[in-house]
Structure 1
């Protein structure tokens, strides 16, 4: 799994570029960048809408991964520190 969230797609091995894990990692990086942008520009509603769309896409990918392979899901959540302990 990719730990650095700012990795360019060209640095990811070809066989892993389309995997759910790499897509979620990429979307998480975009979400963090947009969140920082919105901290500075709170009234940028078009960026806010884009953030909501990205969050929704990541959520759908995580639901898919949860249904398909829970071990990979838990591993990904742990590596990205997305959820707190339950």
Structure 2
């Protein structure tokens, strides 16, 4: 697991003040997703963790959808900053 691949974007004082922010939650989920992805390189048959990863991906996707409807500019900024692919509209 490589610690340098995680995103140190939000400052410590902002993290401590309001962990309920949508941006902060997306940040936390993105870090957990990247950590689990690196875990699967060593343990490809860890199916219970794969289930957890799918749940986290769904939660992050719902938060991103909410943010895109609420504030499109902040959504695009986060997508570019965290290097997340944009979701396909059905």
Q: CA 1:81 to 1:47, structure 2 compared with 1: closer, same or farther past 3 Å?
A: same
* DSSP-derived class of the 1:43 partner: coil
Residues 29-74 of structure 1 deviation map (CA, whole Å, 9 limit, x = unaligned) = 0000001111110100000000000000000000000111101101
Q: 1:12 — aligned with what?
A: 15
1:25 Cα deviation from its structure 2 partner:
0.4
Query: Following superposition, which runs of at least 4 residues in structure 1 exceed 4 angstroms of deviation?
Result: none
Instruction: Extract unaligned runs of 5+ from structure 1.
Output: none
2:80 to 73, 78, 83: 78
Q: 1:39 — aligned with what?
A: 41
**1:58-73 correspondence runs (5 A):** 58-73=60-75
Cα RMSD, aligned residues only: 2.2
Q: Provide the TM-score with structure 2 as the length reference.
A: 0.78
Q: Provide the TM-score with structure 1 as the length reference.
A: 0.81
Aligned length, in residue pairs: 79
Q: 1:26 — aligned with what?
A: 28
